[in-house]
Amino acid sequence: MRLQDKVAIITGAANGIGLAAALRFAEEGAKVVLADYDANAGVEQEKALKEQGYDVKFIQVDVANRDSVDSLVAQTIDHFGEIHILINNAGITKDAMLTKMTAEDFSRVLGVNVNGVFHCTQAVLPHFVEQKYGKIINTSSVSGVYGNIGQTNYAASKAAVIGMTKTWAKELGRKGINVNAVSPGFTSTAMVAKMPEKIIEQMKSVVALQRLGEPEDIANAYLYLASDESSYVHGTVLQVDGGIMM
């Protein structure tokens, strides 16, 4: 088992990529905190995973709220006793063209996608520093690397995640903490499933592999970066995008 007895917090774990990661980590022996704002989905997924014999706990969190994040970390320590891995997977979109994007939607996306990553990382850091070990994996996006029409706020937030990842890698490597990011491409999530078929086919057409990614594809990247196999991988942005831009 690649994560035997490791304790992992995965934000945005009640659905999509986060849920796929929670299952993948649990399969590899990790004890997993399903951290999500959606209490109904979180409780449901906690029950489903426990029924499969996995050691998981759902904790509701608003990553944009520091008090909520501090409570998440405290509850994790209280329940599992330690933390080894943080997956900053939670994120939202509020898409609009620049001329129509509201200041509120711009700020809300950065509040979750940037402030949330900052809050969660800073909150777990004392535990990682004390044990001289930790794996921090942040979720960026191809939008944060190349930009995307209608996603000023989202692209800005995911570019910021890359900047934070590289900065923290420089600060924390000497403390025994690995910091990396994953940059997913177009991935088959519930959000994408709601799009018109024509748009989905257009998305596939610009991907070298001519298909969308699956949540499991991203979860496997998280797993590699969370495992000891990647102990010398540091400050990198792993693109899992099917070759969308080469």
Which residue among 37, 54, 133, 154 is the active-site one? 154
Paired residues of 180 in beta bridges? 137
Strand-pairing partners, residue 151, are 96
CB 117 within 8 A of CB 87: no
If one counts every other C-beta atom within 10 angstroms of the C-beta of residue 57, the result is 19
Structure tokens at 214: 């699956």
> In the chain, which ranges are continuous DSSP H helix?
16-27, 39-51, 66-80, 103-110, 116-131, 142-146, 152-172, 190-193, 197-205, 215-226
User: Does the annotation count 232 as an active-site position?
Assistant: no
Determine the residue type at 11: T
Amino acid code (one letter) for 3: L
**Cβ distance 25 to 84 under 8 Å?**
no
3-state per-residue secondary structure call for 163-229? HHHHHHHHHHHHHCEEEEEEEECCECCHHHHCCCHHHHHHHHHCCCCCCCECHHHHHHHHHHHHCHH
Angle formed by the axes of helices 152-172 and 103-110, to 10°?
Answer: 30
- Would you please indicate which residues are annotated as catalytic (active-site) residues? 154
